[in-house]
Amino acid sequence: MGKQYETVIGLEVHVELATKTKIFCGCSTAFGGEPNTHTCPVCTGMPGALPMLNRQVLEYAAAVGLALNCRIPPLCKFDRKNYFYPDNPQNYQISQLYLPLCREGSIEIDTVQGKKTVRIHEIHMEEDAGKLIHETGVEQRDGQTQEDDIQEYSLVDYNRAGIPLIEIVTEPDMRSAEEVTAFLEKLRRIIQYLGASDCKLQEGSMRVDVNLSVREKGTEAYGTRTEMKNLNSFRAITRAIQGEQERQIHLLEEGKAVMQETRRWEDSKGESYGVRSKEDARDYRYFPDPDLMPVVVSRDWLEEIRSRQPELAEEKLERYRKEYQLPDYDIGILISSRHLATLFEETTALCGQPKKVSNWLMGDTLRLLNERGMEPEKLGISPEYLASLIRLVDEKIINNTVAKEVFQVMFDKGVDPKQYVEAMGLQTVSDEGILKQTLEKVIGANPKSVEDYRKGKEKAIGFLVGQTMKETGGKAEPGEVKRLLKELLDASV
Amino acid sequence: MELLGWTAVELGARIKAGEIRVTEAAEAVLNRIEEKEALYHCYLTVDRERVMAQAEQLQGRLDKGELTGSLAGVPIAVKDNICTEGIRTTCGSRMLENFVPMYSAGAVSCLEKAGMLLIGKTNLDEFAMGSTTETSAYGVTRNPWDISRVPGGSSGGSAAAVAAQECFAALGSDTGGSVRQPASFCGVVGMKPTYGRVSRYGLVAYGSSLDQIGPITRDVTDCAALLETIAVHDSKDSTSVKREDGSFLSALKEGVEGIRIGIPGDYLAEGLDAEVKAAILKAAQVFKEQGAFLEEFDLGLTEYAIPAYYTIASAEASSNLERFDGIKYGYRTKEYKGLHQMYKKSRSEGFGTEVKQRIMLGSFVLSAGYYDAYYLKALKVKALIKKTFHQAFQKYDVILGPTAPSTAPLLGESLSNPMKMYLGDIYTVAANLAGLPAISLPCGLDTKGLPIGLQLTGDSFQEKKLLQTAYIYEKARGVFPLPKERK
């Protein structure tokens, strides 16, 4: 049996804030748009242009800091990180090194071993860079394409330059991919609840870099770490962590050293490769940005931010248990998305049936979201309609089967269930006279089953109920059908 | 022509009274420029047609009563590191030879709002780095008092243009003395306002924590009027300060009684030209005769101002000038292979020697392992200098001294002895480090017939007191001569 190893993981998480305008100018942060249309002298690094801090960025960043139990010092400052790259219009990025906004926070996560605290080292604000587009063009000189006519060139789009980011840096407190996933899910949920970001890994509004090292179990000192980039999904993060810990253990087992470097994960290949070693590390020549005044963070202002903080998932969990008496399983699903939780609360307020609302949201809603590949935030169902649908079932105006059909139409097209049921004539056939006529028809057409039933085969009644439902186009109440059937069959013995 | 001899405020009054049309004034200045530019080379860009069209338009607005300011219609020159929408802004560098900004600097917008007529863009040391205007990529500007001499710098074009009557007033920028020193060499008035008084938006940054735009004018009254025009809070500059004490013309009252003036002994010590010293002491005597309280005192830290200044200014410059990379605008080398080479060649070819020296110096003092020893230490010195001035202003209203250790040097003299050139900033850089307002005004001629500058420094945002003190001196001194006309 070889040595036992332990994996040590710290994260650097970049989160794009959901402000309407950029961090240092008034340009729109809207996604898309023709290249270089959401730009101005400030975010394209024109000579003489100066940055002005967007207050909303500060508010969101402070709100995240408070929710992550951070210490927020009374003063923070912006620094310049100098490096040349075409996506960086000033060739320096405005970030925070010396006096970041938030320090020393923590998040509690659930692990297989129980609760665990992951410490936050700091949270700082910074601006995003632009986007490079690499192309190959052909420039014909004599009407014919020759080899040297083919030019590779790059274009730069500054629409994204200056989009506000916060970087959340954790301490090396995680020990497995499961813990990382638990941390990130919780972090994402908190930030989404605050409305500070939508935190989508795939779309890049949340970007995770994994710092990972391994050490022999029981040792104090950390091993040499690598930084893994290009992780665009939870799956990629998990796979990259597994791959990297195996790679490092393998090196150590062979008596080789792990090199401190930045690595890039290629999810399609399931492997990573080194992109920059420690020796190549740039000297960013950080210094305080003289264009931005230090930001004074007053206690009063922080209290104001705190007072505006919405109810977070943890608080909802407690309240749902008490107020709605729902099982923890239901609550876990409902609070996984603020939008889902809000829909639940508002619908319940209208119809007063928490468990039924929860069933709709956990069952059909999640199934359809999955089928349609949609995020819960995109859910367009209104609480009024969902409450109305529940009422239609309660009042036996439609049965469960019909309700599921109506729900799907409501989900896709946003129709009013009541109007839809009326327009499509989906009301349950509740007129006993009409129903009895149908039943008699079914009884007459299925003498074998009637015979079986009378011989004591209780199951045969199920077939007859099914036939009746078919005849009514699903619009009868199965319980009612069964009761009437029994009544008819038993009476005519 | 008589008109050219008027001050900006005098011209403004006559334009307002309808005695002179803006087009007449514009024509006179443009003709003067045409006549004198071969000799002095104050300007980098003058667009005659544009100026005349603008003059017509301004006259129209005056006729309709839309413009009521004291300087409406007055031709003004602007240093070419201050952005002007639609007008080439080169910073005296090959790097920005064809750069036409799509926006105007905050200060330029103020001039436009006041109805002033932008006559042209003036020469400067490349990116305002230099004390002679000789580092400009577009040739030297000559001192109108002696064309074998420099006009000072970096706002040499602006100061020379005012002295040569090629405009009625000008804007310069002052990072370590770049408004005051050329004003001193050219026999005109130059002021660096308190840091934050004038918007820096659109001023192409050299040392952002030190840069401030300031007026260069024929007399103190013009200086007050122009400062009043540009001292406006700008929401595009986070270092711009909102204040309600911006009516400087009204501060120009006579009577110096009760004013306490301190003269730092260090400013009269070794290194100061004897003739300059004599003129400064004579000026001090004038204040005494007017009833001011005057005494010599020990300011301290004077020897640390220059190293701290060059460390901070170069550090900020090294970062500020990173945006000039040949990608978005400005000079790009013709032949290159790959991104790295494009950067390297574009910047090597686009920047001149002095700029490259300061970028290298600045990159060095910010680099890992040196940051604490150089940059951080310089910031501490800056804070200490601020403190010594703060203490001095507990005792004095104004600090008096020379603007520069000597009068204008010969062309070529300074660049061959850069250390001497850097030391020439000894009396001016402290005001930038401490963020204080300071004004230079002529106080005599040396035996070579060159103007000598008197520098008055005030406490933070005490421009009114400073201008009033300067005004009193100017009244007592009498009209300062213009340089002799030469053919």
CATH of the domain at B210: 3.90.1300.10
Q: Does B101 touch chain A (CB under 8 A)?
A: yes
Q: Which residue has the higher pLDDT, A409 or A83?
A: A83
The domain boundary, picked from A301, A320, A342, lies at A301
Is 60 exceeded by the pLDDT of residue A315? yes
Is 70 exceeded by the pLDDT of residue A148? no
Is 90 exceeded by the pLDDT of residue B478? yes
CB contact under 8 A, B83 and A82: no
pLDDT at A488: 77
CB contact under 8 A, A41 and B103: yes
Q: Label residue A431 by pLDDT band (50, 70, 90).
A: low
User: Do A294 and A252 lie in a common domain?
Assistant: yes
CB contact under 8 A, A291 and B203: no
Q: Which residue has the higher pLDDT, A110 or A124?
A: A124
**DSSP percent split of chain A into helix, strand, coil, nearest 5:** 40, 20, 35
pLDDT averaged over every residue in chain B: 95
Using a CB–CB cut-off of 8 Å, the residues of A that contact B are 41, 44-53, 80, 82, 84, 86, 89-92, 156, 283, 285-287, 290-293
Q: Which residue has the higher pLDDT, B252 or B382?
A: B382
CB contact under 8 A, B202 and A293: no
Of A153-162, A412-421, B78-87, minimum mean pLDDT range? A412-421
Q: Label residue A100 by pLDDT band (50, 70, 90).
A: very high
pLDDT averaged over every residue in chain A: 87
Structure tokens at A428: 């349950």
pLDDT at A137: 73
Does residue B214 sit within a domain?
A: yes
pLDDT at B325: 95
A82: Cβ contacts below 8 Å, ≥ 6 apart: A91, A92, A284, A285, A286, B318, B319, B322, B366
List the single residue in B236, B238, B375 with the smallest CB-CB distance to A293.
B238
Predicted confidence (pLDDT) per residue in B70-99, tens digit: 999 999 999 999 999 999 999 999 999 999
Average pLDDT over residues B115-124: 98
CB contact under 8 A, B315 and A287: yes
Q: Which residue has the higher pLDDT, A305 or B421?
A: A305
Does residue A151 sit within a domain?
A: no
CB contact under 8 A, B343 and A84: yes
Q: Which domain holds residue A212?
A: 5-132+159-301
Rounded CA-CA distance A381/B173 in Å is 61
Crossing angle of the two packed helices B22-40 and B8-16, in degrees rounded to 10: 150
User: Do A227 and A258 lie in a common domain?
Assistant: yes
Q: Label residue A380 by pLDDT band (50, 70, 90).
A: confident
Of A279-293, A400-414, B425-439, B442-456, minimum mean pLDDT range? A400-414
User: Do A408 and A358 lie in a common domain?
Assistant: yes
Rounded CA-CA distance B266/B299 in Å is 7
Does residue A150 sit within a domain?
A: no
**DSSP percent split of chain B into helix, strand, coil, nearest 5:** 45, 15, 40
List the single residue in A52, A89, A287 with the smallest CB-CB distance to B328.
A89
CB contact under 8 A, B325 and A46: no
Cα Rg, chain B, nearest whole Å: 21
Average pLDDT over residues B349-372: 95
Crossing angle of the two packed helices A177-194 and A234-253, in degrees rounded to 10: 150
Rounded CA-CA distance B157/B123 in Å is 4
The domain boundary, picked from A301, A327, A360, lies at A301
Predicted confidence (pLDDT) per residue in A448-483, tens digit: 878 888 777 777 788 888 887 777 777 777 777 787
Is 60 exceeded by the pLDDT of residue A1? no
Structure tokens at A351: 């119809």
A179 — phi, psi (to 5°)? -65, -40
* Contacting residues of B for A285, CB less than 8 Å apart: 318-319, 363, 366-368, 371
Cβ-in-10-Å burial (0-12, 13-18, 19+) of A50 comes to: buried
Other Cβ atoms closer than 10 A to A382: 16
User: Do A211 and A86 lie in a common domain?
Assistant: yes
Q: Does B206 touch chain A (CB under 8 A)?
A: no
pLDDT at A345: 87
Chain-centroid distance, C-alpha B130:
12
User: Do A361 and A449 lie in a common domain?
Assistant: no
Other Cβ atoms closer than 10 A to B423: 13
Does residue A446 sit within a domain?
A: yes
B122 — phi, psi (to 5°)? -100, 155
Rounded CA-CA distance B213/B359 in Å is 22
List the single residue in B209, B236, B339 with the smallest CB-CB distance to A52.
B236
Average pLDDT over residues B289-317: 94
A147: Cβ contacts below 8 Å, ≥ 6 apart: none
* Contacting residues of A for B325, CB less than 8 Å apart: 84, 86, 91
* 3-class DSSP assignment, residue A166: strand
Residue of A nearest to B237 (CA): A50
Structure tokens at B416: 């061959």
User: Do A409 and A453 lie in a common domain?
Assistant: no
Does residue B373 sit within a domain?
A: no
Average pLDDT over residues B232-261: 89
Does residue B261 sit within a domain?
A: no
What is the DSSP track for B178-236?
TTHHHHHHHTSEEEEPPTTSS--TTBPPSSTTT-EEEEEESSHHHHHHHHHHH----TT
Quote the number of domains for chain A.
3
Average pLDDT over residues A126-142: 81
Residue of B nearest to A88 (CA): B323
Predicted confidence (pLDDT) per residue in A162-171, tens digit: 999 999 999 9
Does residue B466 sit within a domain?
A: yes
In one-letter notation, the amino acid at residue B339 is L
CB contact under 8 A, A290 and B208: yes
Rounded CA-CA distance B57/B80 in Å is 24
Does residue A357 sit within a domain?
A: yes
Strand partners, A80: A94, A287
List the single residue in B89, B102, B343 with the smallest CB-CB distance to A41.
B102
Structure tokens at A168: 């959340």
List the single residue in B91, B102, B239 with the smallest CB-CB distance to A291.
B239
Q: Label residue B328 by pLDDT band (50, 70, 90).
A: very high
pTM: 0.87
* Contacting residues of A for B368, CB less than 8 Å apart: 283, 285
Q: Are A91 and A45 in contact (CB under 8 A)?
A: yes
* Contacting residues of A for B239, CB less than 8 Å apart: 290-291, 293
User: Do A418 and A436 lie in a common domain?
Assistant: no
Average pLDDT over residues B271-290: 94
Average pLDDT over residues A258-275: 89
Q: Does B382 touch chain A (CB under 8 A)?
A: no
Does residue B291 sit within a domain?
A: no
pLDDT at B218: 97
Does residue A140 sit within a domain?
A: no
Strand partners, A276: A262
Handedness of CA A421, A422, A423, A425 (dihedral sign): positive
Nearest Cα of chain B lies from the Cα of A281 at a distance, in angstroms, of 11
Average pLDDT over residues B240-262: 87
User: Do A192 and A287 lie in a common domain?
Assistant: yes
pLDDT at A151: 75
pLDDT at A142: 59
Which letter does DSSP use for residue B98 in this model? T
List the single residue in A45, A51, A292 with the smallest CB-CB distance to B323.
A45
Q: Label residue A444 by pLDDT band (50, 70, 90).
A: confident
Of A268-282, B1-15, B171-185, minimum mean pLDDT range? A268-282
pLDDT at A105: 95
CATH of the domain at A446: 1.10.10.410
Q: Label residue A140 by pLDDT band (50, 70, 90).
A: low
Quote the number of domains for chain B.
1
The domain boundary, picked from A260, A276, A301, lies at A301
* Contacting residues of B for A84, CB less than 8 Å apart: 322, 325, 343
Strand partners, A156: A132
Is 80 exceeded by the pLDDT of residue A377? no
Rounded CA-CA distance B121/B44 in Å is 6
Is 80 exceeded by the pLDDT of residue A94? yes
CB pairs under 8 A between A and B: 96
Q: Which residue has the higher pLDDT, B270 or A121?
A: A121
Q: Which domain holds residue B81?
A: 2-254+457-477
| Residues of B that are catalytic | 79, 154, 178
pLDDT at B264: 96
Q: Does B83 touch chain A (CB under 8 A)?
A: yes
List the single residue in B201, B207, B319 with the smallest CB-CB distance to A80.
B319
User: Do A387 and A263 lie in a common domain?
Assistant: no
pLDDT at A126: 97
Q: Label residue A138 by pLDDT band (50, 70, 90).
A: low
* Contacting residues of A for B202, CB less than 8 Å apart: 48-49
CB contact under 8 A, A49 and B202: yes
Q: Does B318 touch chain A (CB under 8 A)?
A: yes
pLDDT at A149: 63
B88: Cβ contacts below 8 Å, ≥ 6 apart: B44, B45, B98, B99, B100, B121
Q: Label residue B21 by pLDDT band (50, 70, 90).
A: very high
Of A113-117, B52-56, B389-393, B419-423, minimum mean pLDDT range? B419-423
User: Do A373 and A461 lie in a common domain?
Assistant: no
Predicted confidence (pLDDT) per residue in B135-165, tens digit: 999 999 999 999 999 999 999 999 999 999 9
- What is the percent of chain A with per-residue pLDDT over 70, rounded to a whole number? 95
Max Cα separation, chain A? 100
Average pLDDT over residues B21-34: 97
Q: Which residue has the higher pLDDT, A158 or A366?
A: A158
Site from B95, B96, B171, B322 to mutate, A interface, most A CB atoms within 10 angstroms: B322
CB contact under 8 A, A285 and B202: no
Is 70 exceeded by the pLDDT of residue B1? no
B322 — phi, psi (to 5°)? -65, -30
pLDDT at A463: 83
Q: Does B367 touch chain A (CB under 8 A)?
A: yes
Does residue A326 sit within a domain?
A: yes
Q: Label residue B487 by pLDDT band (50, 70, 90).
A: low
Rounded CA-CA distance A408/A474 in Å is 16
Does residue A445 sit within a domain?
A: yes
CB contact under 8 A, A285 and B102: no
Rounded CA-CA distance A11/B315 in Å is 32
Rounded CA-CA distance A3/B353 in Å is 61
User: Do A333 and A388 lie in a common domain?
Assistant: yes
Average pLDDT over residues B101-119: 97
Does residue A165 sit within a domain?
A: yes
* Contacting residues of A for B235, CB less than 8 Å apart: 52
User: Do A225 and A325 lie in a common domain?
Assistant: no
